[in-house]
Amino acid sequence: METLALSANLRDIVGGKQVKALRREDVVPGVIYGHGIEPIAVQFNSREVEKAISQAGTSSTVQVFVEGIHDPYLAIFRDVQYHTLKRNVIHLDLQALNLKETVRVPVSVVLIGEPPAVKDFGGILLHVLTELEIEALPTALVPSIEVDVSVLTQIGQSITVGDIVPPAGVKILNAAHEFVAQVIYAEEEKEEAEVVVEQAEVEVIRRRPADEEA
């Protein structure tokens, strides 16, 4: 998997109005932290950050070159905070990785193929679980996991986490019984959708904009 590159400068300004002034200059404050290193306050160009985030997602590694520090940090995005209204990035946390230590990250579930139960019998495909929690060494991290739904030949059939064969070196941490995808009758769509909404409402929100936390 290709590793992206991101440039950063050391940051002396912390907190308050001075940080807000940085943001007005298209600068995003951030922190690099990790096992065995002291947290480093840094700052990034906002356009470069948003481009890197859109390409890397939550599980791809990025090489962070900090001006004045010889070796780059191999890191992943851990916490990205957005402005509530403008939706631009206002703060960024990156975790520096050790190539010999596993890391836990969320990855997207991508459904591929066409279920015969939908094509031939008019069923409706539900994408129940859109994200998986995985554990892997940094060199084995993947941006997403593909699930082939062409095996769903009958209405009522489903694919669970236990049915997924993860890539080499990747361990899926979700419970094996969790549904990933399911084909249902058309008249069941509304009822199933309501169940999914109820489940989503009780999930813990992993990230919130800084403005909301304040």
Rounded CA separation 100/43 (Å): 27
Cα angle value 197/103/77 (rounded, 5°): 70
Tell me, yes or no, if the two domains 4-98 and 103-200 fold the same way.
Answer: no
Domain spans in the chain, listed from the N-terminal domain onward: 4-98, 103-200
Within 8 A by CB and 6+ apart from 185, the residues are 123, 124, 155
CATH architecture under which domain 4-98 falls: Beta Barrel (2.40)
Q: Is 124 left (phi over 0), alpha (psi -120 to 50) or beta?
A: beta
Strands 144-148 and 103-112: parallel
List, for residues 166-193, the tens digit of each pLDDT value: 999 999 999 999 999 999 998 655 555 5
List, for residues 74-109, the tens digit of each pLDDT value: 999 999 999 888 888 999 999 999 999 999 999 999
Choose the CATH number for 103-200 among 2.40.50.1070, 2.170.120.20, 3.90.1150.10, 3.40.640.10.
2.170.120.20
Q: Is 193 left (phi over 0), alpha (psi -120 to 50) or beta?
A: alpha
Rounded CA separation 211/163 (Å): 40
Cα angle value 212/22/214 (rounded, 5°): 15
List, for residues 130-153, the tens digit of each pLDDT value: 999 999 999 999 989 999 999 999
Instruction: Report yes or no: 172 and 133 within 8 Å, Cβ to Cβ.
Output: yes
- Global confidence as pTM: 0.76
Distances (CA, A) of 160 to 49, 111, 165, 195: 35, 13, 11, 17
Look up residue 57 and give its two tokens: 């997602």
List, for residues 41-61, the tens digit of each pLDDT value: 999 999 999 999 888 877 889
Give the number of C-alpha atoms closer than 13 A to the C-alpha of residue 108, restricted to the C-beta side: 9
Whole-number percent of the chain with pLDDT over 90: 66
List, for residues 192-204, the tens digit of each pLDDT value: 555 555 555 555 4
